[in-house]
Each structure stands twice: as structure tokens, then as C-alpha cells.
Structure 1
Amino acid sequence: MSKTFLASFFLLVSTTLFSQDYFFKKYAPFDSEIPSPEEFLGYPIGFQHTRHDMIVGYLKKLAEISNRASIYEYGKTHEGRSLVILTITSEANLQNLDELKKQHLAFTSTSQNVTNYDAVPIFVNLGYNVHGNEPSSSEAAMLSAYTLVASQHPEIKKYRDDAVIFVDPTINPDGRDRHTQWANMYKGNPLVSDPYDAEHNEYWPGGRTNHYWFDLNRDWLLGINPESRGKLNWYHEWYPNVVTDFHEMGTNSSYFFEPMKINASKDPIMPRENYEDLNELFGNYFAKSLDEIGSLYFTKEVFDGTYPGYGSSYPDLQGGLGLLFEQASSRGHVQETSHGKVTFPFTIRNQYTSSMTTVKAAVENKATLYKYQQNFFKSGLKNAANSKVRSYTFGDAKDANRTKAFIDKLLLHRIKVFKSNTKGEYIVPTNQDQYRMVQTMFETYSQYRDSVYYDASAWSVANFYNMKYRSSTRAANLGNQINSTNDLIDIQPINKSSYVYLIDGNDYNNPAVLNHLLQKGVNVSAAFKPFSINTNQGNRSFNQGSLVVAVSKQAISSDSVFKVVQQAQKKFEVPMFSASSGYSTKGVDLGSRWMAPVQKPKAAMLIGDGVRSYEAGEVWHLLDTRMHMPITKIPMRNFNRRNLDKYNTLVMVSGSYSTLGKKQQEKIKNWVSKGNTLITIAGASKWVIDKKLVKESIIKIKKDSTKVVERKPYMEAGENIGKEQVGGIILNTDIDVTHPLGFGYTSGTLPVYKNNTVWLAPSKSAYGTVSKYSKNAHIDGFITKKNMDEFVAKSASLIVSKLGGGRVVMFADNPNFRGSWYGTNRLFLNAIFLGDHINVPSN
């Protein structure tokens, strides 16, 4: 690169300093044997966006050269990128790390009462770049790692002596590299600061999310993706005292650090000392450091830590201090704002400054942090003792795989689970170190001290899984502790039959088994009415949705059929049975017209500009990772050229769909009319109604033009308007379990997650409303009385509308939310596999 070009770059950074001095001159001198990021990369930090493999390569180099650093891989992303943590401390500490870890973890033990608060190094986790297109922090991670490893400054030496620092440079490598490629590809020479330049405007889906378009900063509680599961497993091995969560926000803002906006819960389960005392303590450090470099900032606004699944809130429920930082983004290399130009190096410097300040504050307040961590777990047990609830009992004996998935979630968060004396039931006692996480899983709330949320106001995870549970005020009689979900499901292997195989219809994995059989060329029928029949395991009852594989109806040999069925049972652990007669002891016989052949789904989904990538990714993830079923993702730009006749199912998630004009709308309408199934979710359901593809309606408030508008203070507008939004609540629904979409459900009530204001009127057909909000629908989360009375009480959650020879399945709510709603996934999967059997009768 030419000297002239570098000179122009440095002018963006400073007119007097070289670029590296711009960041860390105050920590000189540095060990000359250890390469700086610039020496390793071949360009100064901030000159361009650094690929994840180069970031990892640099940290590996530090660990290779220095006896003050070691590197650990805690997982792989969906796309195979390494997730690594660089451990930095003094040479003596690193050699004695196992013993220091033992001493550190003693403060998390409720059975020990250690008091050596100043004798043990403080454990700090510097976490960066959970949103891939918020890139400044990963660059700052390299600067921080270099400073902490190579600096010979007395202050940094003290940090190494008194702290163990874990640098996690990129929590979302797949998203980061997506954005890195974009920003570097469109980088101009000279740089272009115009906000409308392509460099500052990524193409859909952008780099914020991971491979399946999930927001990993919502996944700490839900633990769906390998990035989060790997980090959670690491986290519960180390329990760091302080955890950073670096982000970026709108370009026209400044810089945010905690204290946050007040916690919206009326009685937060995190200790007051956390969100008041510790946040204020560290906030003073950040203010001073940013003042010194002339950066503006704000606190106590917008962002709240109510939802416990952020990188800045999950540590607060584990005895640590989670810290959120938000930097106004350059979204490229330099961008014009209303406050002047924001450069990439400037954004990096703020993140680097806060990184180093975090270590400083942690080291200087070691005793305070250790006392807090110790008291956190002990106060949790005290709170449990003061609670009337002694345990929670849960489980669904009719759906072992859904129960297993919920237990996996509990174990991921180190919640103790025990078997019950009742088959299919499990017990979670409240008297355990993870009591606050037990509360998070089971407790529900209706009272709050705030009404506007940055994210969800409901997260009782048991409801995500449609897991019926009950609390007890008595100490439970505990069976064996569950330490793993391996071998949790005990099913009898299927016997070979020359007549028929029967597959349970209630199990969560039933659709996965169905897909497996269809993909292998096995002909399968589904039961549309219940029946009982004699099997190799005695007389058994089968609900709607159970699968029937008649051996004589196959195009492949009986041996091949048995092999495929065996494979499916081994892979998905679903109860299967063989029978030698089709004569039922109760209900329909196996040759009944209520046994309908299932055709292999050929599904497609519209993606691209105007489509909500989160919801699209959830569909893709569900079908990919649990059903092992392909779905064609059709970009909106290709829709005009795509012949839909190749598919029998089309999925449309929330989105504007502004590029679909009259011609395109007619194309979809004609395709559905041929007998196909259109599945719409939330905003897309509103779209098909607004465009009159179906003869259904949306519930709206009838405005009274004669009503006098009440005058209100202008500054309250945001709060007053915002509280009418539905940020994320859990509602109960009444579901028709006889409808094909309701197959697999054994209860007429089902919790759903609502985070939108799409209010579907019940279907105009008496048979088209599959699910309607219950009379007393509220389960968890904040919602205004107005919304409950005017909308929830009058609307449906799921309806089906006839369109020619086909049908449109319309979800008001997202059945696949964040990959975690095991309870409602089956509704969506039934729409895919059984949609062609839904014929909405006219009244």
C-alpha cells in the first residue's frame, strides 16, 4: 500500500499520532518480541475490517509466543468457524491456573465460607461482537489482547498479577465474516462517507445474525445455537466475576455504558446490589476514561436488562456483573452523521478504552466483586427458603422427546433435575444453587414497574415447551438425579412385521420420522381419527396424527421398509409398534378412509428484501436441524422468474412484500387455488388479508371522531405509545385438537408467544378457527388492559381459509420463535405435512 494512501488514512485518525499510538500509547513500553496487531495483519487496526480467521490467527500467535497467554477452543459455529478464548494473566498465574480456578470457584459454593477476597485474582471475561455487523469490538479485542500480553507498563503488570482475563474476540464469527466481506468489498479509495453508499447498507440478511439468522444476543437463556451452547458450557466452568457485552447502535448516537434503564420487573430476581451499586461503581470508571479521550456518552436510557438472555444480563443471574456497551457505528470505514464524521478507528478506540477500563475497575474492586459473588449464591438459597414453593414437577409421558428437550435446557443452565416416582415426571427442587434460574424457568409475572421494553417481557421457559408443571409447598420425594439426557428415553425396539408398522402421533419427533420415511421412499398414511389396536406390545391407543406404514403398499421390499423404520426409530427415539391385523379394538380400522396417504412435502419460502430474516431463519433452522428436511429459499428478486408449480407448500413470514404487485399476488393466488398450501406467519398473515387473497379480516379499534383528545406532556409520548406495542408476552389459547393442524396435542390449551399487533378475526368459516385466545388468556408478560379487552379477547391465534382448491394457513403468532417454541412447532409442521388434507367446509 502506498505511503500517500496510508497518510490519508491516518488523517482520519489523528493529525499528530501514528494509528497504533492513537489507541494504546499510554501503555508503553511493549515487549518487542510480541507482534502488534498491525505487524501481524500487515495493516493498522481500523484500516479495514479483519476476517475472523485472521483474528483467531493473531490470538494463536500471542499464545504461541507468550508465556502469559493460552488459547482454548470452546466450539464451532454452524459454518465451522472456531470459537476461541484467549486466557491472559501473569506467567505464575497461568502455571497455577487450576489451583486459582479452584480458589475462585470457592466463592460460588454455598457450602464454603472463604474470606480470602484479596488473595485470589479476579476473573474477567471480555466478550466481543455478538452481532456480526457491529464490528468495532473485535478489532478492539485484538488491541486489548496485545496490550494485556505485551505491555510492560506497571499498571498492566498489576492487571496480569491480579486478574485472569478471558478474551472472547468474536461470539458470532459467521455473521462477522458476512459483514466483513461486505464492508471491505465496497470500501472506496478514497473512502466514501455518504450514508447511502453501498458500504454502509448491507444486503439482506446483513451480518447481525448467525448462519441461521438468529440473534445470538437473545440466545444465552435459550441455548439453541452451538455458539451459545459452547459459551454456556464454558461459562459454567469458570463463572467469571465480570462479563462485557460490546455492541454498536445507530450512527447518529454517541456511546452507551451502564447503568441501564431501570429494570422493568416489579421485583427483579437479580440482587439490587447488581443493578444499582455495582453498575454505578463501574459507571464512574467508564465516565472518567471516556472523558479523558473526549468521547461523549449517555447512560440510564433506552436499554434495559429485564430479559435474562442477553450477554449483559445472563451473568447477572450467575453471581457476576454483566456490562453492556453500545457504540455509534460507522457501518464501514467512515460515515457522515449529524454530529460530523464517525470513523472506524474512532469506534474501535472507545471499545478498547472501555475494555481496559473494565479490567482496571475489576482489579481495583476485587474484594467487592468476590463478596458479591459469594453473597449472590447464598442469598439465592435464602430466597428459596423464604419461598412457599419447594419444588416444581413437570413432564409429559405422552411426549418424551419434548420433555427431553426441556430437561436439556435445564441441565444446560446447571439446574438440578430429579426423577419422580411417577413415570414420565421429573422434579426440580428450589433448594439449589441455581434457584434464580429455576425462577426464570417456571415463574410467571403480571405486574411490572415499567411498560416499554427493549425486548421480551415474558420468558417462563417451561411455557416455551408447552410443559405442564405444578408447584408444591412440600419437600419433594426425589428420585435419581438426571445428569445427562443420553439414554433418557427408553423405548422398545420395533419388531419386524409383514403387515403394518404404527408410529406414535403425540411425540415431538413424529414429523421428523414422517419426513425420514417419505425421503426414503416409504409410503405413509396418517390417522385422521383415533383408534386402538392390538400390537406386539399389547393393546395400544393412537391419536390423530399417528402414522401407519402398510407393508403391502410399498414399492420397496419388506426388508427395506423394516430397515428404514428401524433407522428412523434409532435416530428420533419415537415409540413404534408392529401389528398383524388392521382390525381395531376401538375407533377406525387401518383401512378406513380416515387413514389418508401423506405426500412428500416440496416446500419453499420467500426470503430477501422486505422479509423478516429472524422468522425466516427460524423456519430454516427448524426444518434443517430437527426435521432434516430441505426447504427452497427463494429470494424476492427471483420471484418473477420462479415457477411455483414445483412446490406444494409456500411459507411467507412477516415482511412488507412491497415488491409483490398485483401480478405477483395473482400468481400466488392461482398457485394456492390449484390445491397447494400457503403458510403465513404474523405480518404475512396480515398481508394476505390486506391484499384480499383470502376473505378474512383483521380486528381494528373503531375510532370515535367525536371523542375529545386528552392533552398529554410531549416528553411522555414515547412511553405512552410504546406501551401499546406487544413486545413479547405469553398467552393461552384454546386449540381444536381434532383439526389436522392440532394433531399431536392431547390438551385443548396451548401457550403461544405473541410479539406483534397482528389481531386475526376468527375465521368466517365455523371450521376455520383452529386456535383462539382463551377467556383468561394472560400467562406471562406485560400487556395493557386495552389490548387484552379490545384485541386478545376477540381474536384468533390460528385460522385456515379456503382459496380455490387450496388453503391459506394463517398464524397470528410466530410458532417457531427463536428456535425455542417446541410447544407450537407442531402446529407449523402439521401445516407442512398435512396441509393438503385440510379442506375448510363452508358453513
Structure 2
Amino acid sequence: MKTLQLLPVLFLLFTFNSLQSQNDYFFPKGSEFDENIPSPQEFLGYEIGEWHTRYNSLVHYMERLAELSPNAQIQTIGYTHEHRPQIILTISSEENLNNLEQIRQEHLAHANPKEDEGNVSEMPVIVHLGYNVHGNEPSSSEVSMLVAYYLLASQDPKVEEYLQNGVFHIEPALNPDGRDRHTTWVNSNKGNPAVADPWDREHNEVWPSGRTNHYWFDLNRDWLPLTQVESQNRVKFYHTWLPNMVTDYHEMGTNSTYFFEPTKKYGSENPIVPRYNYDTLNKIFAEYHQRALDEIGSLYFTGERFDNSYPGYGSTYPDLHGALGIVYEQASSRGHVQQTGSEKISFPFTIRNHLRTSLATIEATIDNRELLLDWQRKFFEDISSGSNEVYVYGTKERPGLNRRFTQLLLDHQIEVYELENDVSINDQNFQTEYAYAVPKAQTQNLMVRSIFENVTSFADSVFYDTSAWSMALAYGIENGITKAGKLNLGPRLDSEAIQRDLSLPVQSKYAYLINWSQFSAPKALYQLLEKDINVKIAFSPFKTETTTGSSDFGYGSLMISTADQPVDEQELFSIITKVARDAEVEINAVASGRSLNGIDLGSPDFRDIDLPKVLMLTGEGVSGYEAGEIWFTMDQYLGMPITKADRNDFSRLPLNNYDVLILVSGNYNDLDQERIAKWTENGGVLITQRTATEWVINQKLVEAELKKAEKEQDSSARMNYAKSGAYYGSRAVGGSFYEVDLDITHPVGFGYTNRNLSLYKNSTVFLEPGTNAFQKVALFTNDPHISGYIHPENLELIKNSAAILARKKGEGTVIMFSDDPNFRAMMLETQRLFINSVFFGSMIF
């Protein structure tokens, strides 16, 4: 074993004396290549594994291959947040490339049960080779170049067969922004000779590391919610081809070996994916991967640890579309060479392992081409038949949310239809103009179920990630399920159909009103305040006559009077019109301050809103995911800048320049707690979530208590050590949905019309409600569990605990969330709670 593990060290100590020696290391024995196609080493000017290749060089190499070879084409499918191109290099035979669009159309028709079945003996199989979704798991992007080189330059006769029988889409980096962040770090800290000590700076990136994208999101969790532009572009390309095979390459801890599927049976598999995928296809491919790694003496394991259940993974999403998705994990060098126990692991060694499983995957796909093509057809035939149930969703009060949810469905190629008749389901009324229908009997049946269904029974109690993923709950969209015979379906929707003409405001000489329940009302508020427009907020509901008729306005409704503004009536109207158009909100004009019911527009219950200046602490020890979610929410949903300051600079920060301080989960023990306390007492708004809430309570910065289990664990109890992982894992809160009762009259609850909402919980922070009757903003109900796994002991702690508390501290306010209301930027049901805290926290009394 030691001899085998020394191979990566020897490779690093002695540079290759020729291109052939490098090829001999990476590729199967006896591989020969066309000299007219440059190898990655020849193009880059350094040996693969000697440096980490910057993304632009990856792109340029792929472009060069497309220029030189008639068997390659390149395209840009979109751009990242940092405007790096997302490219796909497509490789196949020259004949196939000349007929690529025809092949694509025939493939999609074959996969669709409504179309004629194709002749699989003549159809190429479609393969998507995706690499490097986590930027600091970099070896697979290097592999993408070697795979492209192999397919285009290898003289092996079987490669010609590959190109005739397959279309290969190579995506060299699924996360270009994160990759370059990591590449810059390791290259700029590389020693010469390279330093293997794991404590060396090269192996320890600074926060937030290159794992995530620009907004610090994990793109391997975003295939379902599609909040990030990279995922939106990728899934759009995915559905233009519906590949049969999809690879998902990763790295894991340095002290591990290599992993390929199958994952843990039942416990780590998606419960609605047909068993054929796991029991047959997975096993077939595993034999190829086994042989490939046995051949070079690399250790590996299967059938444990890694999860395949969440639909937002790059290896699970294909399984829900009649394809085979496989996750691969390689022990990481996290740099160029790193000590691991008594051995060393090198960057070239990690590259070679991923290369060999890539080539094995290609071989397995071609060998089983007809099997994969037949399976995809059968998959869609089976799942799209046999159900006459239809989901109905939508509400009149939140048209902006309706549009966003519908667009998500359309992005996943789910069939959505207009309603031709009103329908009532479980006391919920769905009106034709504001509600839509989604039949379960369609080719995207499994995606429909993933988005709408609540799951509460599981094969296992330990989860690698989340155990609940209903996007209907995440959005808080009203929905119900009924029999198809109870309603008539109208036209099928597309993206253009849901972009209804926005009703722009008419000019008023008196005032304008904005209902705060609208999804983009916060964006409109920011734009108005940023232009120094005076805006007031209603602390009581009212009904008034507008230019479009009498309308009800709830708690939190905004009022902009034409008087007492820094601009004249005409300029104010121009600003109002622009805001309505940009934010896509309805703004009502009123001619009188007298209301039909409730408060008048001159009531003391209308209070002035000031534009808050917001500070969020970031940096080492702080959750990059949670901080990124808030940054993205404020940036992309509101267009509102916030200051992201490193926690190590806290002592130097001019804290009094800020109105709101946000602490996400993290370590804040070295911060000046007295300074935070005085700032809050002087009128600041402190917003905390998850472990930051736990911290402010433990540090006595606020009067509140954590809820603990009533019964302590029996210290005399004894269990087998081998069961410890399952024991503690089952008691983690991996992520599930719960019902809370929200005080919609509280400023944090403004804009909600229903007291009951679903909240996503993935922490073990449990809050006692306390004795102040008016500070219990949101409480978990007595029977809160909606979807996902929860251990019975944790469920008892959740029951009747507080989800949100708001405490006065001097002139200021502390707003504490037990959980993360912006989780993955997809929890639009609870996102407004956080936004309300930012805008209205200073108004709490």
C-alpha cells in the first residue's frame, strides 16, 4: 500500500522529461496521440499538475481545440456574476457535429412519450461531463482538458467509436468565479519546492474560500432553487439536450481515498427515483470505475457517506430526468502537495484518479448506449402516466410571487396551465385570473412532486444535507391538489404569458399607496428612500378609495403624500412611475385622505421611515453561506447595498455610522460586547440568527433564554461505539419545515395576511418565548412538523418555542431568529421577516 501511495510524491519530485512521460502517467498504457492536436502541457507551457490552471486558460485551450479539430465545437451558454463565460465544448464525430441540431431534436423526441420512438441502434448517446462545481476542489477542471485532448487526439480505434456513438458536452468548470478565487490563492502561495505541511498557507485559504460562487453560494445545492445565474444558464442548457449520462466531480478530505457511486442504499437515495437507476445502472457503471482504479492501484470506497437524495445536487437532478447522474469524490491535495498521515498526496495524483474514472464513464456510456437510451424513454413513459391529480396554486394578493414561482416551474420545463374555472380546495379558493394548474401526468412528474410534496417518512435518520425541499413551502405559495375532472385547463403557459402588463399609476395631487404584501414592495421602498422621498408606513389597516376602486391596505402599507416632498408633484409622479416599472409593483393613487374604514391617511398610526444604513460582519469564523444569502437578498432582490465588514476590523469600525448590525452564525467571542450593548442601547437595531442568537443570549447582551431538553441523558447508559455516528446524526436538525404562528400586527410580521406560515429550520437553537406578551413575534405551533425528518426529542424542543423574538434594549432593539430566514435565498416565505427587521426594526416599541 505504501508503494502505491508514494506514486504521487515521486511524480511531484521529478518533473516529466517529455510529453510522452506525462501522457504515460495520466493515460492508459500505450496511448498514442495526434501531434497536430496540442496537449494541455504544450498549450499552457507547464505540466498538468505543476500549477493550478486559471479559468481563462481553460477556456482558451478549449477554444484552440475547437479551432483545430473538426470534431469539436464550442459555445457560451451564459456568464457568471463576475462575467466569466460559461462554456461548453461539444465533441463528436464530424458527421454528428454537422447534423447536431437534428440529433438534438431526435433525442428530445425519443425521450418524449408523446412523440414517436427513435431507433436507438442509430442514435448517439448524450453525455454531459461536468467538472469543478466547488471552486476549491480543482483537480477535475484539469481533467476536463485531458479528457478533451484524449477524445480529439487519441489514436486508439475505440475513441473513433466513442465519437460516432456519442455526443460529449464538456463543461470544464461549473463554478468559474470560485475556481479562480482558489487558483489565485494556491498559485500565489506555492513554494518552490512545494511545501507539503498541511499548516502551510497554501493549504489554508482565507475566508470565504473558493468553494462558493461570487455570492458565496454552493452551486451544488442550486439545481432545484435556481437562484444563481450560473445554475439558471446550466439548467437551461441541460433541458435543450436531456443528456443520458451526467458526471459530478468533487474532492473530499485529504486523509480519505476515492469515492464513486453507489451511495448508501435507500438511506442516501432519492425516494421517488425508480429503483432501476440505483439497482441496475449504478452497478453497471461501478464495475467500470472499479477496474479503472484497480488498474492504477488507487484505493476507493462505495456504498456509504455521500447523499443522493436532494434534487438540487448535480448528481441527483439527472436521476429525476431519466438519466444517470454520478458523484465522484477524490481526496484533495488542497494545493500542489500535502502531507496526509505518513504519506503525501499530490495534485497530479488527484487529477489522474478523476481522469481514469472519466474515461471509464465514457467507455461505460458507449458500451451501454442503447440501454441508457431505452431507459430514458421508458422512464418518461412510466412517470407521465397513471395520475389524474392536478396541483393548483396562486393568490390574488401576491401576483409577483405567483410570477416567480411560475417561472421556476417553467425553468424546470414543468407544464403549467391557466385555469378556465374557479376551484375551491380544502377551503382555499383559486380564481382563474390569479391561479394556475400543474398536472402530475407529465414528463416532469418527479420534479412536480419534488416541488409540491411534503415528505415525513424516511428510510434513514441521518442526512448529509437537507431532508425537505418543497419549493411550494419555501415560497409560501398557496396550493392544493384536486382531481383533473374538477377543473378545465386553459392554454399552456410560457415565460411571456406570465409577464402580465403592469398597471402603471395615474398621477395624484394627494397621495400614493403601496400594499406591503407585494413581493417587490421592499425594492420599491428602497428606491423611494434612496431618492429622499418621504415615505410613511401604516401601523393599522385601512380601506380607501383609489383610482382603481376601493381597496384594502394591511399592516405595513406605504403612503407617499404629494405634500412635504423635496420635489414637485410632476417630478414625484415621474419617480413613482419609474419605481412602479422597475420594481414591478402596483402603486395606487388616491384623491383624499379620508378612508372608508380604518385609519385616515393623516393618522398618527402612519410613521415616517428612514433609510437604514446596514452593516454585516463577515470574515474568518463567520458563516459564509448565511452572509452570502443576505448579501444576495439585499443585492438582487432589493438592489440595496449593505456594508460587509471583516469581523477582525470591528474595533476600528465607526459603529455609530450604522443603524443596523447583522450577525449571522459565527464566532464572536473576541468582539467588544460592551460596545455592541451601548450601540444598541443608543438606538441601534441588532439582528441575529442561529448561533449568533445563541451567542447574544449566552453573553447576556439581551434578556432571553435558550430552551433546553427537560430530561438529561442518562449518564449510566451504555451503547456500542459503532452506533455513535448514527446516534448523533439522527439528533442533528438537517433541515425541515415547521408551522409557526406569526403576529402579523408586529412590524416584523408586516405584509403577511395569514398568521400561519412555514419556516425552514436547520439548527439546534431553541428559544424560550419569555414572559413579555408583545415580544413573541413568531412561535412554533404545538404540532409544527410539516415536512422533512426530525428526531422526536428535537420535535419536543421545537413545539411552542419561539422562532423570532424582538427585545427592546434601551432605545434600540434586538431581533433574534432561531434559524436562517434567507436560507439559500429560496425561502421567499420567510425572507420578508428579515427585510422587515432591517427596515422597521427601529420602529419597534
Shorter-chain TM-score tier:
over 0.9
Structure 1: segments with no counterpart, 5+ residues: 1-6
Checking the alignment, whether the CA contact within 8 Å between 2:269 and 2:307 is kept in structure 1 is no
Structure 2: segments with no counterpart, 5+ residues: 1-8, 422-430
Spell out the pairing of 1:285-364 with structure 2 (5 A cutoff): 285-364=288-367
Shift of 1:787: 1.2
1:440-488 CA distances to partner (integer Å, 9 max, x unpaired)?
A: 1111111111010111110011000001111002433112221015653
Shift of 1:82: 0.6
- Tell me what 2:809 maps to: 803
Shift of 1:702: 3.8
Tell me the secondary structure at the aligned position of residue 186 of structure 2. helix
Relative to structure 1, the CA distance from residue 489 to residue 106 in structure 2 (aligned partners, 3 Å threshold; closer, same or farther) is: closer
Shift of 1:20: 3.2
Tell me the secondary structure at the aligned position of residue 553 of structure 1. coil
What letter corresponds to residue 435 of structure 1 in structure 2? N
Checking the alignment, whether the CA contact within 8 Å between 1:127 and 1:167 is kept in structure 2 is yes
What letter corresponds to residue 729 of structure 2 in structure 1? G
What letter corresponds to residue 271 of structure 1 in structure 2? P
1:272-322 CA distances to partner (integer Å, 9 max, x unpaired)?
A: 011121111100100000000110000011012111110000000011000
- State the percentage of identical aligned residues: 45
Shift of 1:630: 0.5
Relative to structure 1, the CA distance from residue 524 to residue 708 in structure 2 (aligned partners, 3 Å threshold; closer, same or farther) is: closer
Spell out the pairing of 1:55-454 with structure 2 (5 A cutoff): 55-114=58-117, 116-264=119-267, 268-382=271-385, 385=386, 387=387, 390-420=389-419, 421=421, 422=431, 423-454=433-464
What letter corresponds to residue 745 of structure 2 in structure 1? T
Relative to structure 1, the CA distance from residue 126 to residue 375 in structure 2 (aligned partners, 3 Å threshold; closer, same or farther) is: same
Distance in 2, Cα, partners of 1:603 & 1:365? 56
Checking the alignment, whether the CA contact within 8 Å between 1:108 and 1:374 is kept in structure 2 is yes
- Tell me what 1:655 maps to: 666
Distance in 2, Cα, partners of 1:10 & 1:678? 51
Relative to structure 1, the CA distance from residue 638 to residue 577 in structure 2 (aligned partners, 3 Å threshold; closer, same or farther) is: same
Shift of 1:15: 10
Which of the residues 821, 827, 835 maps onto 1:829?
835
Checking the alignment, whether the CA contact within 8 Å between 2:475 and 2:827 is kept in structure 1 is yes
The range that moved more, 429-438 or 598-607, is: 429-438
The range that moved more, 192-201 or 501-510, is: 501-510
- Tell me what 2:675 maps to: 667
Shift of 1:99: 1.9
The range that moved more, 204-213 or 302-311, is: 302-311
Distance in 2, Cα, partners of 1:76 & 1:497? 42
- Tell me what 2:542 maps to: 531
Distance in 1, Cα, partners of 2:379 & 2:760? 31
1:463 lines up with 2:473 in the alignment: yes
Checking the alignment, whether the CA contact within 8 Å between 2:217 and 2:628 is kept in structure 1 is yes
Checking the alignment, whether the CA contact within 8 Å between 1:696 and 1:764 is kept in structure 2 is no
What letter corresponds to residue 711 of structure 1 in structure 2? R
Shift of 1:131: 0.1
Which of the residues 732, 753, 766 maps onto 1:746?
753
- Tell me what 2:691 maps to: 683
Spell out the pairing of 1:578-589 with structure 2 (5 A cutoff): 578-589=589-600
Shift of 1:714: 1.6
What letter corresponds to residue 151 of structure 1 in structure 2? S
Distance in 2, Cα, partners of 1:185 & 1:709? 54
- Tell me what 2:640 maps to: 629
Shift of 1:639: 0.8
1:506 lines up with 2:525 in the alignment: no
- Tell me what 1:4 maps to: none
Shift of 1:520: 1.1
1:646 lines up with 2:666 in the alignment: no
Checking the alignment, whether the CA contact within 8 Å between 1:458 and 1:728 is kept in structure 2 is yes
Distance in 2, Cα, partners of 1:301 & 1:12? 36
Checking the alignment, whether the CA contact within 8 Å between 1:489 and 1:573 is kept in structure 2 is no
1:729-761 CA distances to partner (integer Å, 9 max, x unpaired)?
A: 011111010001111101011101111111111
1:722 lines up with 2:729 in the alignment: yes
Tell me the secondary structure at the aligned position of residue 303 of structure 1. coil
Checking the alignment, whether the CA contact within 8 Å between 1:394 and 1:426 is kept in structure 2 is yes
Relative to structure 1, the CA distance from residue 265 to residue 771 in structure 2 (aligned partners, 3 Å threshold; closer, same or farther) is: farther
Distance in 1, Cα, partners of 2:500 & 2:717? 60
Relative to structure 1, the CA distance from residue 813 to residue 364 in structure 2 (aligned partners, 3 Å threshold; closer, same or farther) is: same
Distance in 2, Cα, partners of 1:610 & 1:302? 26
Tell me the secondary structure at the aligned position of residue 110 of structure 2. helix
Relative to structure 1, the CA distance from residue 106 to residue 631 in structure 2 (aligned partners, 3 Å threshold; closer, same or farther) is: same
Shift of 1:8: 8.5
1:427-446 CA distances to partner (integer Å, 9 max, x unpaired)?
A: 11112111111101111111
Checking the alignment, whether the CA contact within 8 Å between 1:442 and 1:460 is kept in structure 2 is yes
Shift of 1:764: 3.4
Q: How many matched pairs?
A: 825
Shift of 1:152: 1.7
- Tell me what 1:11 maps to: 13
Relative to structure 1, the CA distance from residue 598 to residue 708 in structure 2 (aligned partners, 3 Å threshold; closer, same or farther) is: closer
What letter corresponds to residue 416 of structure 1 in structure 2? E
Distance in 1, Cα, partners of 2:654 & 2:66? 54
Relative to structure 1, the CA distance from residue 529 to residue 678 in structure 2 (aligned partners, 3 Å threshold; closer, same or farther) is: same
Shift of 1:555: 1.2
- Tell me what 1:774 maps to: 781
What letter corresponds to residue 301 of structure 1 in structure 2? E
Which of the residues 481, 487, 496 maps onto 2:492?
481
What's the RMSD between the two structures over aligned residues? 1.7
1:368-426 CA distances to partner (integer Å, 9 max, x unpaired)?
A: 111111111011023xx1x4x61011102101111111111100101111122322111
